[in-house]
C-alpha cells in the first residue's frame, strides 16, 4: 500500500506541475499526461510487489527521473543531494579540506602532490605517501571519491590521518581543515613569453585570470607584450565566468548571446570598456577537448578578431544548461538544457565546433597509426542523443592534408602545438612593435 500511496503522490505532484506549465494546452493533452503518470505508478507498484528481489523505492524513482532527463540530450541530468553538493563544490571554486591531490594505487590512497600553502604541505606530507586510515578507520581498498569525502569537511574541524611512508612505520598526523582553492588558472613565462593555462570555469576563474595577469606582469617586469591562452582539454563550466574571462581581453562589444525555445527570448552579453592587455596580441590554443565555456571564449575572441586560434577543431557543445535546485537543494537539482549560445557573429557551434585559424596537430596524423586514433567519443556530435545544429550544419571531416603536423624527427615529449603557438605570437608581437616605431 505504501508504494501505491507514494506513486500516487508522485503522479499528483508531477501532474500538477504539468497542468501549471501547460495552461494553454488542450484538455486531451492533460488527460494523456495523467494516463502516463498513472501508468508510471502501476509499473512502480508491480516492480515492488513482483520483482525477484527487494527493491529500493528511492533508487527506482531516481532512476526514472534520470531516464527521463537523459532521453532529452547528453547534458540534461538529475543530481541527487550528494551529487548536487559535489557539483556546488566544483563550481564554488573552494572547499574545506586538507589540500592534496590523491589517486589510488594498488588499493592504497596515495598522495600525488600536496598543494602549496595548505594543511597537507604545512604538515610535511609528501608525494607517494599512502593514507591508510582516516580518524582510525581503515580506507585501504576504498575509492578515491569515498576517501576524499572522509577527508573533506567544515573549515576549522580537525581530522587525523594515518600515513604509511616508505622505510618508516605508519604514523598519525592531525590536520585542521582549511579553505582550499580549486585553482583553474596557472601562469608562467614560457621561453620568455607570457603563458596562461585555463583548465575550467568555476566561480573564481575570472578573479584568478586577473590575478594571473598581475603575476605575469610582475614576473615579466613590464606590461605584457602578448599572451598564450591555453584552453586545450578545458571542459567548460559557468557561463558567467566565460563572459567574465572574455571581458578581460575585449574593449567592449558583444561576447555571446543565448536563445531559449522562444526565439524572441534572446539575451546578449557584452564586454565592458577596457582591455586588460591594451591590444597586445593573443594566441589561443584549443583542441577537440575544448568545450562549452572554453568555446564561448575562443569563439568570441576569434569573431572579434582579438586573437588567433591555433590547434584543432573544438568539441562543439553549443548548448546552455541551468541548475534548478529542488526544494532548495534538499532533493538535489536538475541540470537542464535551457538554451543555445551564439558567438558574436551569430554562429552556432553546436555539433560542429570552432575551427582554429591555424589547424595544427599535436602529433602526426596517420590513419594507420593505432596509437593516435581518435577516441570513440571525439566530439559533441558523437554523443548519443546530442542536439543537432539548428542550421543543419555538420562537423567537417578533418582534411589531414590541410593540417600542419609535427616533423618526423619531433620528440613526442615536446608540445608541438605550444611550440608553434609561441612562434605565431612572437611573429605577431614583432610586427606590432615594428608598426609602433
Instruction: Provide the CATH number for the domain around residue 354.
Output: 3.90.226.10
Is the predicted pLDDT of residue 81 greater than 50, yes or no? yes
pLDDT at 372: 55
Angle between helices 239-249 and 293-303 (to 10 degrees): 30
Position 367 confidence tier, pLDDT thresholds 50, 70, 90: low
Domain count, the chain: 3
The three cell numbers of residue 366 are 596517420
Give the domain-ending residue among 164, 181, 198.
181
Residue 39 belongs to a domain: yes
pLDDT, greater one: 219 or 378: 219
Instruction: Clarify whether residues 174 and 115 are in a common domain.
Output: yes
Residue 213 belongs to a domain: yes
Give the CATH number, domain containing residue 137.
2.30.42.10
Burial class of 186 by CB neighbour count within 10 A (0 to 12, 13 to 18, 19+): middle
Instruction: Clarify whether residues 9 and 156 are in a common domain.
Output: no
Instruction: Clarify whether residues 159 and 190 are in a common domain.
Output: no
Residue 63 belongs to a domain: no
pLDDT at 376: 55
Three-state SS at 351? coil
Stretch 63-68: mean pLDDT = 92
| Residues 296-308: tens digit of each pLDDT | 999 999 999 999 9
- Going by the DSSP 8-state scheme, the letter that residue 331 receives in this structure is T
Give the domain-ending residue among 181, 208, 233.
181
Stretch 193-201: mean pLDDT = 96
pLDDT at 34: 86
Position 407 confidence tier, pLDDT thresholds 50, 70, 90: very high
Instruction: Clarify whether residues 168 and 201 are in a common domain.
Output: no
Instruction: Clarify whether residues 169 and 189 are in a common domain.
Output: no
Residue 105 lies in domain: 94-181
Among residues 271, 208, 216, 259, which one has the least CA distance to residue 237?
Answer: 208
Q: Which one from 290, 317, 361, 379 is the annotated catalytic residue?
A: 317
| Residues 179-190: tens digit of each pLDDT | 988 889 999 999
Stretch 176-203: mean pLDDT = 94
Stretch 254-258: mean pLDDT = 98
Stretch 201-229: mean pLDDT = 97
Active site residue 317: yes
What distance in Å separates the CA atoms of residue 185 and residue 212, rounded to the nearest whole number?
A: 7
Residue 165 belongs to a domain: yes
Residue 242 belongs to a domain: yes
* Cβ atoms of residues 420 and 310 within 8 Å: yes
Three-state SS at 423? helix
pLDDT at 432: 85
Stretch 364-370: mean pLDDT = 66
pLDDT over 90 percentage in the chain = 71
pLDDT at 412: 84
Lowest pLDDT segment from 168-172, 263-267, 332-336 = 263-267
Q: Which one from 73, 129, 230, 303 is the annotated catalytic residue?
A: 303
What distance in Å separates the CA atoms of residue 358 and residue 355, rounded to the nearest whole number?
A: 8
Stretch 322-330: mean pLDDT = 94
Give the domain-ending residue among 151, 181, 211.
181
pLDDT over 70 percentage in the chain = 91
The three cell numbers of residue 203 are 566561480
pTM of the model: 0.83
| Residues 21-53: tens digit of each pLDDT | 444 456 778 888 888 889 998 999 999 999 999
β-pair type (171-176, 158-164): antiparallel
pLDDT at 30: 81
Instruction: Clarify whether residues 261 and 324 are in a common domain.
Output: yes
Position 82 confidence tier, pLDDT thresholds 50, 70, 90: confident
Active site residue 303: yes
pLDDT at 90: 83
Is the predicted pLDDT of residue 20 greater than 70, yes or no? no
Lowest pLDDT segment from 62-66, 131-135, 346-350 = 62-66
What distance in Å separates the CA atoms of residue 77 and residue 82, rounded to the nearest whole number?
A: 14
Q: Which one from 76, 292, 314, 348 is the annotated catalytic residue?
A: 292
Instruction: Clarify whether residues 38 and 112 are in a common domain.
Output: no
Alpha helices in 142-283 (DSSP H): 144-151, 205-220, 239-249
Residue-averaged pLDDT of the chain:
89
Amino acid at each position: 500500500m505504501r508504494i501505491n500511496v507514494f506513486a500516487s503522490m508522485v503522479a499528483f505532484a508531477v501532474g500538477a506541475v504539468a497542468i501549471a506549465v501547460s495552461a494553454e494546452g488542450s484538455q486531451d493533452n492533460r488527460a494523456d499526461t495523467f494516463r502516463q503518470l498513472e501508468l508510471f505508478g502501476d509499473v512502480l507498484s508491480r516492480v515492488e510487489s513482483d520483482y525477484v528481489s527487494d527493491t529500493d523505492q528511492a533508487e527506482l524513482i531516481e532512476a526514472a527521473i534520470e531516464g527521463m532527463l537523459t532521453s532529452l540530450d547528453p547534458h540534461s541530468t538529475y543530481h541527487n543531494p550528494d551529487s548536487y553538493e559535489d557539483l556546488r563544490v566544483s563550481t564554488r571554486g573552494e572547499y574545506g579540506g586538507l589540500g592534496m591531490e590523491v589517486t589510488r594505487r594498488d588499493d592504497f590512497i596515495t598522495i600525488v602532490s600536496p598543494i602549496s600553502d595548505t594543511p597537507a604541505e604545512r604538515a610535511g606530507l609528501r608525494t607517494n605517501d599512502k593514507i591508510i586510515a582516516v580518524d582510525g578507520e581503515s580506507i585501504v581498498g576504498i575509492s578515491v571519491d569515498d576517501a576524499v569525502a572522509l577527508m573533506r569537511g567544515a573549515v576549522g574541524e580537525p581530522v587525523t590521518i594515518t600515513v604509511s611512508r616508505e622505510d618508516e612505520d605508519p604514523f598519525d598526523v592531525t590536520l585542521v581543515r582549511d579553505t582550499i582553492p580549486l585553482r583553474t588558472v596557472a601562469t608562467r613565462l614560457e621561453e620568455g613569453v607570457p603563458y596562461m593555462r585555463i583548465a575550467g570555469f568555476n566561480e573564481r576563474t575570472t578573479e584568478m585570470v586577473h590575478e594571473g595577469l598581475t603575476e605575469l606582469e610582475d614576473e615579466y617586469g613590464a606590461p605584457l607584450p602578448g599572451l598564450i591562452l591555453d584552453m586545450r582539454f578545458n571542459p567548460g563550466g559557468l557561463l558567467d565566468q566565460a563572459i567574465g574571462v572574455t571581458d578581460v581581453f575585449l574593449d567592449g562589444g558583444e561576447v555571446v548571446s543565448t536563445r531559449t525555445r522562444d526565439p524572441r527570448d534572446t539575451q546578449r552579453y557584452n564586454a565592458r570598456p577596457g582591455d586588460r592587455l591594451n591590444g597586445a596580441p593573443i594566441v589561443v590554443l584549443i583542441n577537440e577537448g575544448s568545450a562549452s565555456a572554453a568555446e564561448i571564449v575562443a569563439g568570441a575572441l576569434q569573431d572579434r578578431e582579438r586573437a588567433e586560434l591555433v590547434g584543432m577543431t573544438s568539441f562543439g557543445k553549443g548548448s546552455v544548461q541551468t541548475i534548478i535546485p529542488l526544494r532548495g537543494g534538499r532533493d538535489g537539482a536538475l541540470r537542464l538544457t535551457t538554451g543555445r549560445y551564439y558567438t558574436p557573429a551569430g554562429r552556432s557551434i553546436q555539433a560542429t565546433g570552432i575551427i582554429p585559424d591555424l589547424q595544427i596537430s599535436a602529433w602526426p596524423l596517420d590513419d594507420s597509426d593505432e596509437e593516435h586514433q581518435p577516441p570513440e567519443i571525439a566530439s559533441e556530435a558523437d554523443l548519443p542523443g546530442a542536439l543537432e545544429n539548428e542550421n543543419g550544419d555538420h562537423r567537417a571531416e578533418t582534411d589531414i592534408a590541410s593540417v600542419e603536423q609535427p616533423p618526423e624527427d619531433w620528440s613526442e615529449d615536446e608540445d608541438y602545438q605550444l611550440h608553434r603557438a609561441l612562434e605565431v605570437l612572437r611573429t605577431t608581437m614583432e610586427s606590432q612593435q615594428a608598426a609602433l616605431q
